Amino acid sequence: MEMRLEVVQVPVADVDRAKAFYTEKLGFVLDHDVEHIPGMRVVQLTPPGSAASIVIGTGMTSMVPGSLEGLQLVVPDMDTTRTELLARGAGISEVQDMGGVLFAYFSDPDGNRWVIQGAIPPGIRDAHLQDQA
């Protein structure tokens, strides 16, 4: 059996505002923006380099706008990514070091909360795995 998580719905109140945030502030790629049936608009966006996408829109979910939290974007270089996102106008928190693993946080205009995680260096990953053994 094979399963891949490829699309996650993100509940938003204003689709155009969210679309602008994700494309302009975060650099997500707009895959499509379509209305297949009246009242159901589907906007799919993909983070740069990601195999998974998000979907925002209308008529798709009963989730409350701003209720999603904890989606993680893993980046190879936290400092470079954070600097670029700040330059684009995204409000990113200070970096927190959690035992060698770096995290920063941001919210979209609706309050959906995201996590940016720095890629875990092999030495740290190995140490964490040994702690679990």
Per-residue pLDDT of the chain in tens (133 residues, 90 and over written 9): 999 999 999 999 999 999 999 999 999 999 999 998 999 999 999 999 999 999 999 999 899 999 999 999 999 999 999 999 999 999 999 999 998 899 999 999 999 999 999 988 776 666 656 665 5
Instruction: Write down the pLDDT at residue 133.
Output: 58
- Which value, in Å, is the radius of gyration of the alpha carbons in the chain? 16
Q: Which helix (H) or strand (E) holds 67?
A: none
Instruction: Write down the pLDDT at residue 120.
Output: 83
* DSSP E strand stretches across the chain: 7-9, 29-37, 40-46, 53-58, 69-75, 96-97, 102-107, 113-118
Which residues make Cβ contacts (< 8 Å) with residue 57, sequence separation at least 6?
Answer: 15, 40, 41, 42, 43
What are the CA-CA distances from residue 82 to residues 45, 51, 79, 98 (Å)? 20, 21, 5, 17
> Which of 74, 32, 19, 68 shows the shortest CA–CA distance to 50?
74
Compute the distance between CA of residue 114 and CA of residue 93 in angstroms, rounded to an integer. 11
